[in-house]
């Protein structure tokens, strides 16, 4: 039995005329302990896909299974790293992470909880900023807090929605290794959404492209047959790696061009509805 399974999953937003089918007939099996990366274009439905696995959204058709059971809601077993960090702006780093740890390990003593929070914040190199509010952190720092908040709950499945996109190459590398070591430790399952093919190859066992929407489907699976632990510098001169990267890139370019053709052929623009972030906090102050 697969650890995670999507069976003929379709998902749409909106109703009536505004209804848009985002995902169509998605089939995916992830075995326990596997590390799968999904690459795809912006707006194709990657976040929608991972939200269904987290239990924040539900499919219109088909089934999303965790250990063979349909997912009915979020659970501590599946940790999600949000694409937009989603830190609580009124809590400092310690409390943002602490809140997650406390929820997860309800019977732990105060000292034990405190130590875990400090360990995990230290792991992403933010010990010096542990008492700061999110607004005092850079984008990359916030992303690291968001990563460590999810990891500190030691979920069985780590769901990552472009978790490292705002980081510089150096921090990115460190965090990639950090995630890999946590994943490898207790044989967890991981799903990584990324826009960086190299990152996918470095981290994952399989890479699956998500074709552009609407009605996005998964493309062919690219297996990464490179032994672990992988070495970044050695990887760059590895023939296997180069070949794999070339074929994935070629595939992405091909579907990208097809999409461009589709757009020119039909020549109708989608009704754009910008998703505006709540204006409340800048809102009416008298």
Partner 1 sequence: MKDKIINVLRFIGLGFFEPAVRLAAGEDVKKNLTALFQKVFFPIISIFLFMILWNVGAKKLYNVEKDFKIESARASKGEAGVTAELARIESGESTVNSLPAPKAVWSAFKNLLADHKAISVKKKAFKERVAKTNEKREAQGLAAITYTGRPSFVDQIKTSLWTVFCGFILALLLAVPIGMLLGLSETLRSSVNWLIQIFKPVSPVVWFLLVYMIVKTLTLSYDGDVSFIISFIAVGLCAMWATLVNTTLGVSSVDNDFINVAKVLNLSVGQKVFKIVLPSAFPLIFTGLRITVSVAWMVLIAIELLSQSPGLGTFVWEEFQNGANDSNAKIIAAMFVIGIIGFMLDRIMFSIQKLVTFTEQ
Ligand X SMILES: Nc1ncnc2c1ncn2[C@@H]1O[C@H](COP(=O)(O)OP(=O)(O)OP(=O)(O)O)[C@@H](O)[C@H]1O
Q: Is 286 in the site for partner 1 (CB under 8 A)?
A: yes
Ranges assigned E (strand) in 31-139: 35-40, 61-66, 69-70, 78-81
End-to-end CA distance of the chain: 58
43 makes contact, choosing from partner 1, Mg ion, ligand X, none, with CB < 5 to 8 Å by partner type, with ligand X
Q: Is 171 in the site for partner 1 (CB under 8 A)?
A: no
Contacts with partner 1 in 35-94 (CB under 8 A)? Answer: 54-56, 73-76, 79-80, 82, 84, 86, 88-91
DSSP 8-state class, residue 174: H
Residue 166, token pair as written in the block: 């705002």
Q: How far is the CB of 135 from ligand X (least distance, A)?
A: 23
54 makes contact, choosing from partner 1, ligand X, Mg ion, none, with CB < 5 to 8 Å by partner type, with partner 1
Q: How far is the CB of 13 from partner 1 (least distance, A)?
A: 13
Contacts with Mg ion in 32-51 (CB under 5 A)? Answer: 47
154 makes contact, choosing from ligand X, partner 1, Mg ion, none, with CB < 5 to 8 Å by partner type, with none
Q: Is 282 in the site for partner 1 (CB under 8 A)?
A: yes
Interhelix angle 93-104/139-151, nearest 10 degrees? 20
Sign of CA dihedral 107, 90, 163, 138: negative
CA atoms within 13 A on the CB side of 251: 19
Contacts of residue 71, Cβ cutoff 8 Å, sequence gap at least 6: 52, 53, 55, 58, 64, 65, 78
Q: How far is the CB of 46 from Mg ion (least distance, A)?
A: 5
Write out the residues near Mg ion by the rule CB under 5 A: 47, 83
Write out the residues near partner 1 by the rule CB under 8 A: 54-56, 73-76, 79-80, 82, 84, 86, 88-91, 99-100, 103, 133, 135, 153, 277-278, 280-286
């Amino acid at each position: 039995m697969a650890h995670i399974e999507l069976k003929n999953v379709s998902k749409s937003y909106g109703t009536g005329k505004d209804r848009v089918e985002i995902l169509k007939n998605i089939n995916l099996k992830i075995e326990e302990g596997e590390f799968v990366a999904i690459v795809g274009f912006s707006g194709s439905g990657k976040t929608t896909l991972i939200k269904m696995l987290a239990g924040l959204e539900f499919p219109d058709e088909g089934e999303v299974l965790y250990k063979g059971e349909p997912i009915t809601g979020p659970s501590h077993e599946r940790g999600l790293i949000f694409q937009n960090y989603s830190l609580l702006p009124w809590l400092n780093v310690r409390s943002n992470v602490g809140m997650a740890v406390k929820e997860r390990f309800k019977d732990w003593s105060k000292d034990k909880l405190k130590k875990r929070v400090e360990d995990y914040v230290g792991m992403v190199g933010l010990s010096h900023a542990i008492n700061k509010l999110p607004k005092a952190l850079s984008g990359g720092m916030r992303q690291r807090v968001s990563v460590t908040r999810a990891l500190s709950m030691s979920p069985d499945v780590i769901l990552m929605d472009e978790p490292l996109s705002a980081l510089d190459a150096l921090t990115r590398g460190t965090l990639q290794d950090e995630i890999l070591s946590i994943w490898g430790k207790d044989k967890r399952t991981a799903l990584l959404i990324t826009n960086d093919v190299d990152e996918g190859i470095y981290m994952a066992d399989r890479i699956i492209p998500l074709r552009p929407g609407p009605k996005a489907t998964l493309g062919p699976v690219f297996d990464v047959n490179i032994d672990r632990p992988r070495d970044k510098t050695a990887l760059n001169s590895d023939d296997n790696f180069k070949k794999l990267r070339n074929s994935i890139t070629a595939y992405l370019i091909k579907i990208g061009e097809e999409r461009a053709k589709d757009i020119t052929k039909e020549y109708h623009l989608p009704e754009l509805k910008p998703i505006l972030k709540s204006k409340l906090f800048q809102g009416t102050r008298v």
